[in-house]
Amino acid sequence: MPSSETSPLLRQESTTSYAPDEDHDNTTAPRSTFARNLGALDGFALLISIVIGSGVFSSPGPIDANVPSPGAGLLVWLLGGILAWTGALTMAELGTTFPGEGGIQPYLSYIYGDVFGYMAAWSWVVATMPATLAILSIVFVESIYSSLGINEPNPPITHKLLSLLVLVCVTTLNSISTKTSTRLSSFFVAIKLFTIFLLIIAGLVVIFVFLGEGKDLGGGDWRLHNWFSPRDTILPDGTRFDWTTVSTWESLGFYSTALYGALWAYSGWDKANYVAAELKTPSRQLPLSINTAIPTIILCYVAANAVYYVLLPWEVVATTDAAAVTAVTHFLGKGVAYFATALICLVIAGSALGNSFVAGRMTVAAANNNWFPRILGTVGCIGTFQISKTTTEDRNMNQAMDNGESPINALLLNTLLSTLYILLGNMRILLTLNGLAEYAFFFLTVLGAIILRFKEPALPRPVKPYLLVPVLFALISGFVVVRGAVFAPVQAGVLVGIWGAGLVFYFCRLWVLKERVGRAR
């Protein structure tokens, strides 16, 4: 039983203990499958791999449609990066204070109680991860259509069906061998950086050719208009939106929606604690990894978006969900755009495979905590039918999945939920839903970290950023969640309904488990 000084805020006791370990920064986890054999350079590469996905190629349109000027759009990208940076440092504090596995769920369980850890797992499995996979599948298809010169404001059902096909392919690949997808990590990192590098080179070529020869190979608006002056925005339905008529409060709502697009692009910064589990000396190497990787990502994102405004007429940026492909097509023609599309689709496929892999693991972890039905925690099974040569009795879940077996039931659940999101929503609606679902729990987690600073000041913290860092994240993320919910009541209502269903499921399952225990006695 822990002392009153270290008891969880809303619980009477903690089921997890942490003891000092002189060999590893005075912290150790009760259980971990990670070997601490990586250095700061490895941590840098891992964060680059995790964070850079499809967002920088798909989010510029939704962001530009919700800001009054290109300059404001770039500031949103910068703010999103700063928010990711402060969040990553705070998560690193929790990840090294409570080293182990499970993402934010164990932190929330320790701070607030098991029901909060469960709700985080429920939200990730039922809302965040399916919405993420739905967005990736949609962007994959839209990128191909954009390379063909087709940009539909309201894509037909055939687009959704093709997105479902992409989703099924991703699930199938992960079901065959999750180990294969992890081995592709280095390849996808190279593709991501190479693609962004080519975009930046294209923008520089346009600028230097204009400066040297006076010939504009880009969209023209970049040199004719003030980057920070309000201009009419062409919305996806073809109507013009006059920003000079928008009130300050309404502007904050638009900026919140735009910020969700940027946060989607930076999604993955919260996985910094997984990097900490693999570093030899997290207290030194983790801050170094974060403080080099995330600024690099911010620079890449801001530069790439500046290039979109150089290569494209500004009216086009707001209407496309595949900015990179549209920009390359406008600049170099369809032939080169096909090559760019192939690169971008590889980036998206890598992100989809990785997110599908993580979604399966999250579901298994929740099932192993008795939060979800046990059948979702099995590996190598379809339903109750065992398709692998080994059984879960032969080795534990983590070992089975590490050796190539997959949590097929968990993947099928995630695919079913992702299918619903693809059929019932579109990318821009899902971006807001995803942002609300993620940042509501990020806010609670970082708020808990701040509270622990005062409630348990003696708790070992190998990584301890200045208090201003988590406070800044909590203030911005809290505002984004509240104002975003007001500005997007439909998505907020859907999310509240999902959380309500989760609470009903939790307490019903708790009652059933207690009844079983009672009958067993």
Backbone angles phi, psi at 280, to 5 degrees: -65, -45
What pLDDT is recorded for position 68?
A: 92
Least confident range of 145-159, 272-286, 316-330, 428-442: 272-286
The segment with the largest mean pLDDT, out of 15-24, 58-67, 249-258, 449-458, is 449-458
Please list, in sequence order, all residues whose beta carbon lies within 8 angstroms of the beta carbon of residue 228, skipping any fewer than 6 positions away: 69, 70, 71, 72
Confidence of residue 204 (pLDDT cuts 50, 70, 90): very high
Least confident range of 79-93, 211-225, 251-265: 251-265
For the stretch 381-408, pLDDT in tens is 777 666 655 444 444 544 544 455 677 8
What pLDDT is recorded for position 306?
A: 95
In the chain, how long is the greatest CA-to-CA distance? 87
**pLDDT at position 302 over 60:** yes
Mean pLDDT value of segment 344-360: 79
Confidence of residue 435 (pLDDT cuts 50, 70, 90): confident
The segment with the largest mean pLDDT, out of 105-109, 138-142, 166-170, 317-321, is 166-170
Q: Return the domain boundaries, the chain.
A: 40-520
Mean pLDDT value of segment 1-27: 40
What pLDDT is recorded for position 109?
A: 85
For the stretch 481-495, pLDDT in tens is 887 788 788 888 989
Q: For residues 62 and 59, give the distance between their C-alpha atoms in angstroms, rounded to a whole number.
A: 6
What pLDDT is recorded for position 208?
A: 92
What pLDDT is recorded for position 184?
A: 60
Please list, in sequence order, all residues whose beta carbon lies within 8 angstroms of the beta carbon of residue 48, skipping any fewer than 6 positions away: 189, 192, 193, 293, 296, 297
Handedness of CA 422, 429, 77, 310 (dihedral sign): positive
Handedness of CA 477, 482, 487, 493 (dihedral sign): positive
More reliable by pLDDT, 318 or 307: 307
- Asked if 225 contacts 69 with a C-beta cutoff of 8 angstroms, the reply is no
For the stretch 221-279, pLDDT in tens is 999 989 999 888 876 667 788 888 888 888 888 888 888 788 878 987 876 665 555 56
Mean pLDDT value of segment 98-118: 80
SS3 content of the chain, % helix, strand, coil (to 5): 70, 0, 30
What pLDDT is recorded for position 416?
A: 93
For the stretch 462-482, pLDDT in tens is 888 889 999 989 998 888 788
Instruction: Quickly name the fold that domain 40-520 has.
Output: Amino acid/polyamine transporter I (1.20.1740)
For the stretch 311-346, pLDDT in tens is 999 888 888 777 887 888 888 777 777 887 888 888
Q: How far is CA 466 from the centre of its chain?
A: 25
What pLDDT is recorded for position 308?
A: 94
Percentage with pLDDT > 70 across the chain? 79
In 3D, which of 287, 305, 308, 286 has the Cα closest to residue 297? 305
Mean pLDDT value of segment 100-104: 63
What pLDDT is recorded for position 222?
A: 92
Mean pLDDT value of segment 103-120: 86
Confidence of residue 102 (pLDDT cuts 50, 70, 90): low
